[in-house]
Structure 1
Amino acid sequence: MSPDAPNPESPTADAAVLTSFDGGIGRLTLDNPRRKNAITLEMAAAIERFCDQVVDDETIGAVVVDATGSYFCSGADTRILAGASADPAAPESVKQLSAVYAAFVRVGSLPVPTIGVVVGGAVGAGLNLALAVDLLVTTPDAVLDSGFLARGIHPGGGHLTLLNRAVGRADTIALAACGQALTGNEAVARGLAYAAAPVEEIPAIVDGLTGPAARDPELTRKVMSSVRLELGPPAVTWDSAIEIERGTQMWSMARKGQNGSSRGPGRS
Structure 2
Amino acid sequence: MATRTAVTLSVEERVAWITLVDVGRRNSTNEVLVEQLTQACAAVRADRGVHAVVLRAEGPVFSAGGDLDSLGTRPADPTAVYRGFAALAALPVPTLAAVHGPTIGAGVNFILPCDVVVAGRSATFDPRFLDLAIHPGGGHLWRLEQRLGRQGAAALILFGESISAAEAQRCGLIWKCVADDDLLEVVSAMAARAAGRPRELVRRTKSVLSLSRALTEPAMAASLEQVAQDWSVRQPDHAEAVRRVRDGVRRVR
Question: Where do 1:69-218 residues align within 5 Å?
Answer: 69-84=59-74, 93-95=75-77, 97-215=78-196, 216-218=198-200
Aligned residues: 243
Q: Does 1:66 align with 2:56?
A: yes
CA shift in 2, pair 1:263/1:17, >3 Å? farther
Following superposition, the deviation at residue 173 of structure 1 comes to 1.3
Distance 2:42 2:141 in 1: 27
Query: Contact between 1:38 and 1:77, CA under 8 Å: does it hold in 2?
Result: yes
The partner residue of 1:237 within 217, 238, 241 is 217
TM-superposed CA distance for 1:75, in Å, is 1.0
The reply on whether 1:255 has 2:235 as its aligned counterpart is yes
Between the aligned partners of 1:194 and 1:65, the Cα distance in structure 2 is 15
- Residues 169-221 of structure 1, C-alpha deviation per residue, up to 9 Å, x if partnerless? 11211111111111000000000001111111112221232112112222211
Task: From the superposition, tell whether residues 94 and 161 of structure 1 become closer, same or farther in structure 2 (CA, over 3 Å).
Answer: farther
How far residue 252 of structure 1 moved from its aligned partner, in angstroms, is 1.9
Asked if residue 44 in structure 1 is aligned to residue 27 in structure 2, the reply is no
Structure 1: distance between partners of 2:181 and 2:243 = 32
Q: Return 5+ residue gaps in structure 2 as ranges.
A: 249-253
- Secondary structure of the structure 1 residue equivalent to 2:125: strand
Alpha-carbon separation, structure 2, partners of 1:46 and 1:155: 22
Equivalent position amino acid for 1:59 in 2: G
CA contact (8 A) 2:122 2:180 kept: no
Q: CA deviation at 1:56?
A: 2.0
Report SS of the residue matched to 1:81: coil
Q: Secondary structure at the match of 1:80?
A: coil
Q: What do you get for the CA RMSD once the two structures are aligned?
A: 2.2
Measure how far apart 1:38 and its partner are.
0.8
CA–CA distance in structure 2, aligned partners of residues 14 and 116 of structure 1 = 23
Question: For the Cα contact (< 8 Å) 2:232–2:238, is it kept in 1?
Answer: no
What secondary structure is seen at the aligned counterpart in 2 of 1:249?
helix
Change over 3 Å in CA distance of 1:252–1:102 after alignment to 2: same
- Deviation string 1:54-109 (CA, Å, 9 cap, x unpaired) is 2222221111011001110111312222322xxxxxxxx151x3112121012112
Structure 1 residues 257 and 112: alpha-carbon distance in aligned structure 2, compared to 1, 3 A threshold: closer
Which amino acid in the other structure matches residue 67 of structure 1? A
State the Cα deviation string for residues 87-139 of structure 1 (Å, max 9, x = none): xxxxxx151x3112121012112101111111112111101112121111112
> 3-state DSSP class of the match of 2:73?
helix
Cα offset, 1:29, TM superposition: 0.6
Measured after TM superposition, the shift of residue 236 of structure 1 is: 4.3
Q: Are the equivalent residues in 1 in contact too, given 2:8–2:40 (CA < 8 A)? A: no
Q: Percent identity?
A: 30
Q: For structure 1, which runs of at least 5 residues remain unmatched after alignment? A: 1-12, 85-92
Aligned CA distance change for structure 1 residues 124 and 257 (closer, same or farther; 3 Å)? closer
Cα distance in 2 for residues equivalent to 1:94 and 1:51: 24
Task: Provide the secondary structure at the position in 2 that maps to 1:189.
Answer: helix
Residue 89 of structure 1 is matched in structure 2 by: none
- Kindly provide the amino acid, as one letter, of the partner of residue 206 in structure 2: M
